[in-house]
Chains A and B, each alone.
Chain A
Amino acid sequence: MAPDGYTGKVLRVDLSSEKISTEPLNKEWARQFIGGKGLGARYLFEELKPGIDPMSPENVLSIWTGPLVGTLVPLTSRYVVVTKSPLTGTFLDSYAGGFFGPEMKYAGFDGVIIKGKASKPVYLWLNDGKVEIRDARNVWGKDTYRTEEVIRKETGEKMARVASIGVAGENLSLISSVTNDLTRNAGRGGTGAAFGSKNLKAVAARGTLGVEVNDMDSLLPMVKEMIKTDVVGNPDHAGMITDGTPVLVEMSNDAGILPTRNWHDGVFDGHEGINSESIKTRVLVRKRACFDCALACGSWSKVKAGAFSGAATEGPEYETLGLCGSNCGIKNVEAVIRFVEDCDRHGLDSISAGNAVALAMDLYEKGILSKGDVNGLDLRFGNEEAYAKMPGIIAERKGIGDLLAEGALRAGRKIGHGADGMVMHVKGLEYPAYDPRGTIGMALAYATSDRGACHLRAWPVATDAYGSADPWSTEGKAATCVEDQTRTSVKWSFIFCDFYGVNFPNMAKYYSAATGYPSSEEELRKTGRRIWNLTRAFNFREGFARKDDTLPERMMNEPLRSGKTAGKAVPKESFEKMLSEYYALWGWDEQGRPTKAALTDAGLGDIASKLPGLG
């Protein structure tokens, strides 16, 4: 068979019986769902019993690449962890760049499906088609940096790439992540707990098998041209090359949507200490790219002096600067670097951790939590010394950390006194760093994302708060969300990085040259609709519907305080109107349930027939 960019192999591991097997990739599904998100969702839908506890051995944990991963097609270094989310109970797809994804493919596998639970801590070792379940005693309890190092030593492969959990994942924190290449995280939704609940410390890979594409002779010149014109020379990427995501700090602050002091404000008086300029002038060591990336948005940064001297990270990225910076009242990028290095080492999602710590700070300032409740710390907004201790406290579940490790919503519910109402989340997943009260499109994006509040499924903020459209008008916002969700469903299936603004025609070109399958914008749009309908169907099967596509009451009845968004909230009737419009555009019913007709039209007739109760 002609090469098509896939390895053609899926690895299965049952950690309970220690059974390892390799099977051919389901090529029919690959044609329908590409890879990454789509293919992962299709396998998960097939193999996961509805209604199971995501932390039980019955949950299915999988890792996927895509047909372009490991090729020279630019910005395709990602892998995705697909499972039922320990944090939200929804479908979960969490992505990370770096070097692990391509290495897993070079080691011989498009995907890895892990079931059961090991009787003692283990890690998986994937090496040129060979697979071992190895004793993880030497790395259990160790941070992710050290875990990478020890596994390289144990396997004798200094080029091995490792995706591991830290202490947070071992302790089953619902906001724990999977970390690879030191600073890259499949962060959201509790991927770390999905590993930890299976006693799985890490998946490590080293491969020299390579990836074969269908038409190297046409792919190479095309990609060389695209790197120049569509990546490096694309004016939309200019900010990513010079600054990376921190460029958004000033843009959000100007727009009044920068999360500040647990979402009480959208403008931060300390923005100058955490913006891109502060990184470039105070901490930047050098730019560092993920594998196969011509942009190199990452900034290797190191604190040069002061209390946090020596702390280093790649970034910090915008979401971290917003949630762990302004949202915690932190005015110095040096403190944020200390915090996020500790998040990476402990394997914590910095978006969720920033929200959780900001909640604790808010509750402490309001007197709902006493100093005794917060491990004896003076946990005021902006107190860097206390703040910097929090990642460790959460990961180790010490005192208040035991509550916060469950995510902000569960912590709020346990604390009581209305604390849960102060948490900004959808379906339990804490908000990323765009306040919907100044970008109503993001209100819809958060509410309808398949994994809870997420900025990577639709990003209408680009055209409203950051662009020229009215950020408070609902006009066209539902259509923007539908368009974005269709496009990102395809992007996350190849798997492209978020920061490549690749359009449908170019995706089709890459896809055809790499796989040999004919493709077109129209066909890929249909694939995108198929994938988004599939994750909707998954969540419907788990009991989710319009009742869950909501925002916290605070968004509706607590206006922001200053700047362009002063006095603004999300009007409930506007939100509900957008939501109805959105469901209608997808062909779903008023309750947000997918319909037989919509699923069948998207090529999911077989899925529709497995879902009782569809309209």
Chain B
Amino acid sequence: MSKGLKADLGKCTGCQMCMLVCSGSHVGKFNPSEARINVEDVFPEPGEFKINHCVHCDEHPCVEACPVEAIKLNDKLGTYFVDRETCTACGACVDACPYNGCWIDPSGSYSIKCDLCDGDPQCVAVCPKGVLKWGD
């Protein structure tokens, strides 16, 4: 069973406030390109939003694919996060993920993916339309 964020796409308006708060809290600046969640909008056709993020699946092929064991277990949550210091930005996790849940940071120096803010996901706290949910 997936332990990640759940997104009710029908409610999404594409405001990207999730991306703003994610970058603000992870890297100390507002920069959607450095967010661990990504909202794609496809207008005028078909006129919908797609939200990419790590779903924290049980199979975690990213962990298996990583050649340097940079994707580590958060014991508290039972989910995996990328250890920036160890990651070499080789992209193996990006290729292995079937959910488009991780990608290389714009600096090109490491892979980024949702770490659930260590149990207090900021995107969930900010989302004004109740699109994003986590936990029960």
Measured CB to CB, the residues of A under 8 A from B are 3, 70-72, 74, 106, 145, 182, 207-213, 216, 219-220, 224, 227, 231-232, 285-296, 298, 300, 302, 312
A145 in contact with B32 (CB, 8 Å)? no
B16 in contact with A288 (CB, 8 Å)? no
Question: Which of B21, B27, B30, B44: most chain A CB closer than 10 A?
Answer: B30
Contacts of A70 in B (CB 8 A): 30
Binds A, one of B50-58, B82-90, B124-132: B124-132
Beta-carbon nearest neighbor of A296 in chain B: B13
Q: B103-124 vs A: 1/0 string, CB under 8 Å?
A: 0001000000000000000100
B44 in contact with A72 (CB, 8 Å)? no
Question: What's the Cα separation between A220 and B21 when bound, in Å?
Answer: 8
- With A231-B128, A312-B44 known as contacts, the answer to whether A212 contacts B28 (CB < 8 A) is yes
Name the distance in Å between A257's Cβ and chain B's nearest Cβ.
Answer: 30
When the two chains form the complex, which single residue of A212, A213, A224 contacts B125, counting CB atoms closer than 8 Å?
A224
Contacts of A227 in B (CB 8 A): 17, 126, 128
A232 in contact with B128 (CB, 8 Å)? yes
A294 in contact with B15 (CB, 8 Å)? yes
- With A106-B32, A210-B34, A213-B30 known as contacts, the answer to whether A290 contacts B15 (CB < 8 A) is yes
8 residue pairs from A and B, CB less than 8 Å apart: A182-B43, A210-B27, A210-B33, A220-B21, A224-B125, A288-B43, A291-B15, A300-B43
- With A72-B126, A208-B106, A296-B129 known as contacts, the answer to whether A289 contacts B13 (CB < 8 A) is yes
- With A145-B44, A224-B126, A312-B44 known as contacts, the answer to whether A106 contacts B14 (CB < 8 A) is no
Residue total for B at the interface (Cβ-Cβ under 8 A): 30
Name the distance in Å between B74's Cβ and chain A's nearest Cβ.
Answer: 22
Question: What's the Cα separation between A329 and B10 when bound, in Å?
Answer: 35
Name the distance in Å between B130's Cβ and chain A's nearest Cβ.
Answer: 10
When the two chains form the complex, which single residue of A210, A224, A290, A294 contacts B29, counting CB atoms closer than 8 Å?
A210
CB under 8 Å from chain A, chain B span 7-33: 10, 13-17, 20-21, 23-25, 27-33
Question: What's the Cα separation between A312 and B43 when bound, in Å?
Answer: 10
When the two chains form the complex, which single residue of B14, B29, B106 contacts A289, counting CB atoms closer than 8 Å?
B14
- With A182-B43, A227-B128, A286-B47 known as contacts, the answer to whether A71 contacts B30 (CB < 8 A) is yes
Contacts of B106 in A (CB 8 A): 208
Name the distance in Å between B116's Cβ and chain A's nearest Cβ.
Answer: 17
Contacts of B28 in A (CB 8 A): 212, 216
Question: What's the Cα separation between A333 and B16 when bound, in Å?
Answer: 29
A211 in contact with B21 (CB, 8 Å)? no
Measured CB to CB, the residues of B under 8 A from A are 10, 13-17, 20-21, 23-25, 27-34, 41, 43-44, 47-48, 106, 122, 125-126, 128-129
Interchain Cβ contacts within 8 Å, total number: 92
Beta-carbon nearest neighbor of B27 in chain A: A210
B31 in contact with A211 (CB, 8 Å)? yes
B33 in contact with A72 (CB, 8 Å)? no
Question: What's the Cα separation between A285 and B49 when bound, in Å?
Answer: 13
Beta-carbon nearest neighbor of B15 in chain A: A289
Contacts of A3 in B (CB 8 A): 29
Contacts of A211 in B (CB 8 A): 29-31
- With A211-B30, A211-B31, A224-B126 known as contacts, the answer to whether A285 contacts B15 (CB < 8 A) is no
Name the distance in Å between A190's Cβ and chain B's nearest Cβ.
Answer: 26
Beta-carbon nearest neighbor of B41 in chain A: A288
Beta-carbon nearest neighbor of B127 in chain A: A294
Contacts of B10 in A (CB 8 A): 286
A182 in contact with B44 (CB, 8 Å)? yes
B34 in contact with A302 (CB, 8 Å)? no
Name the distance in Å between B128's Cβ and chain A's nearest Cβ.
Answer: 3
Contacts of A287 in B (CB 8 A): 13
B20 in contact with A296 (CB, 8 Å)? no
Question: What's the Cα separation between A227 and B14 when bound, in Å?
Answer: 16
When the two chains form the complex, which single residue of B14, B17, B34, B128 contacts A208, counting CB atoms closer than 8 Å?
B34
Name the distance in Å between A417's Cβ and chain B's nearest Cβ.
Answer: 42
Contacts of A289 in B (CB 8 A): 13-15
Question: Which of A209, A210, A293: most chain B CB closer than 10 A?
Answer: A210
When the two chains form the complex, which single residue of A71, A220, A231, A288 contacts B14, counting CB atoms closer than 8 Å?
A288
